[in-house]
Amino acid sequence: MKLYPEMFLSPWHLIVLLMVLIAFIGLIMGGYDKKTVLRSTGLSALIFYFMLTIPIGLITQESLYKEETMIQSLDQRYEDKQANGQLHGTQDYVIAYVGAYKNEDDADIVVYAGNYHATQTFSGHIRVYLYDSEDEEVFIKTYEGVTLEPGEKKKLDSTFTSHPMTTYRFHYEAQPEV
């Protein structure tokens, strides 16, 4: 498990402040002495923080892991294309990558795209084809009106499929608007 800073301090952690404030006010209204109020408030802050951080960490870790691996895969595909001398037109600098993350009964399909051109913005549509191990189409989708600034990488889509896939391959076409 990789740790990300977003797991330990997020907007959701404001709930901890609210709960600590409620505990603090409750202890004061209960007539406890100052030492007990401060000790109990501090202890409740730690307990609330850990109780909230564990589920946030599990949820955040999965999504950030997917984002990190998708961007690494985009970068690798660009480097492969560059090494093979396949960068000729503006659309060649637009790279798409499809990742399939298997769950128990289905697969989470995530589509990312990146513009690796140094100066030109890509504006157009990207068509993605996903095939299973027997070359049957699982997923075909066109993303219209995609705008990618130079160097920008972003998530285009996330969907689920119950189609059984142990391996897959994908193909994409980037077509600039004229």
| Per-residue pLDDT tens over the stretch 28-62 | 999 999 999 999 999 999 999 999 998 888 888 88
pLDDT (0 to 100) of residue 155: 94
Residues 6+ apart with CB under 8 A from 157: 109, 110, 111, 141, 143
Q: Mean pLDDT over all residues of the chain?
A: 87
Task: At 51, list the tokens.
Answer: 């109780």
pTM of the model: 0.72
* Residues 119-152: tens digit of each pLDDT: 989 999 999 988 887 888 887 889 999 999 999 9
Domain ranges of the chain: 1-86, 89-176
CATH of domain 89-176: 2.60.40.10
Most confident of 4-13, 36-45, 102-111, 116-125: 36-45
- Between CA 86 and CA 78 the distance in angstroms is 10
**What is the torsion angle, in degrees rounded to the nearest 10, for the CA atoms of residue 127, residue 133, residue 135 and residue 136?**
-80
